[in-house]
Amino acid sequence: MRRAIAVLFVLPLAGSVLRAQDQVGPALTAGAKVRVTVGGVRIVGTLARYDADSIALVREQVTYRWPRHSVATVEVGERRSRLGPTLGGMTIGIVVGGGVGALLLGTSQGAEDNFFGPEFAYAVGAFFGGIAGGLTGGIVGYNRSPWRWTETPVHGVGVRPFGRGIGVSVAF
């Protein structure tokens, strides 16, 4: 009975471990945006050919070819949405700008003499500081790179590297 229960818990985990080990890296196909590092120099372009002997990359209508053993890394680019970084930058900008604006305007020397009181000065400072910070943070977030780079193995494509993955051992 204990073995049956253990098998029910271990089999789904073992299946996910085997699937994780089979996924070595993203597939390299012709036309993919890649970033290749050769001799310490990184070149970004479109993959033209990737075979057992060489790697060919097209950048600005110029084709570069290298023997596969001379390439240090190959990274595949995946374009992502700009919405997430833009909203994240705006959120951080609103919080930081609002706090700084409230402190600057609320603690200014004329805040106590204001007709509405010092609380109004804090609120106005937070409002205008939040607007300025949100706009600045949105611009910074939008200008982040829209590419996410994932390294893929150069040598021995399709071969599982030794020492990677998770192992499970069960004994009774």
CATH code, domain carrying 66: 2.30.30.100
If 0-12 CB within 10 Å is exposed, 13-18 middle and 19+ buried, where does residue 95 land? Answer: middle
Residue 60 lies in a domain: yes
Assigned domain for 11 exists: no
pTM: 0.54
* 8 A C-beta contact, residue 126 and residue 98: yes
Decide if 36 is inside a domain: yes
Sheet holding 54-59, edge to edge: 62-67, 54-59, 41-50, 33-38, 71-79, 147-152
Flag whether 169 is in a domain. Answer: no
* pLDDT given for residue 101 in this prediction: 93
Per-residue pLDDT of the chain (172 residues; tens, 9 = 90+): 555 555 445 445 544 444 444 445 566 778 888 888 888 888 899 998 888 788 888 999 889 898 888 888 888 888 888 899 999 999 999 999 999 999 998 787 665 666 777 788 889 999 999 999 999 999 999 998 888 888 887 765 433 344 445 555 566 5
Q: What is the pLDDT of residue 112?
A: 61
Residue 13 within any structural domain of the chain: no
Range of the domain at 87: 83-142
| Stated length of the chain | 172
Residue 58 belongs to some domain of the structure: yes
137-148 confidence digits (pLDDT tens): 999 999 988 888
Structural domain contains residue 52? yes
Number of domains in the chain: 2
Q: Same structural domain for residues 88 and 138?
A: yes
